[in-house]
Amino acid sequence: MGDVAWLIIGMTVSVLVAAALLGHLGWFERGVGAVWRRIRPAQPQADNVSVEQLAADLRRLAAELERCHVQDQPAKMARLTAAALAYDWVLLSAARTLDVPAPEHAPLRPLERLETEAALAAQGLDW
């Protein structure tokens, strides 16, 4: 290639690098971030919530699930889904806090939910 072509390529690369360093290429940052997260995924961290608060939240959400089951209100399925998902999130948070093996993502299947509840109860968590 000629000298002019190399000059154009060099200028283009330098402009792209400068724009990326200055934060003007959001797509570039997202792409690099996605590659980095795929290479080194973040480990789940224990939440900074006390065990007592987690148990209280589990009691409250279990009662809400029971209320949703027995009531006949509009959008019952949406209410049940939301309550079950909230319960699963708190259940997984309690599992992380107590270092109990559990699935990584909500929503939990019924057997996964039961196994996680049993493992938490074996660790002494009562709700």
- Tell me the pLDDT tens digit for each residue of 27-69: 667 777 788 888 887 766 656 788 899 999 999 999 999 999 8
Q: Distances in Å between the alpha carbon of 66 and those of 38, 75, 95, 102, 114?
A: 39, 15, 22, 23, 16
Residue 57 and residue 90 in contact, taking contact as beta carbons nearer than 8 Å? yes
Q: Is 0.75 topped by the overall pTM?
A: no
Looking from the CA of 118 toward its CB, the CA atoms found within 13 Å total 6
* C-alpha to C-alpha distance for 47 and 29, rounded to whole angstroms: 28
The structural domains of the chain, with segments of one domain joined by +, span 3-39, 51-122
Q: Average pLDDT, stretch 110-117?
A: 94
* Segment 66-76, tens digit of pLDDT: 999 898 888 88
* Segment 79-98, tens digit of pLDDT: 999 999 999 999 999 998 89
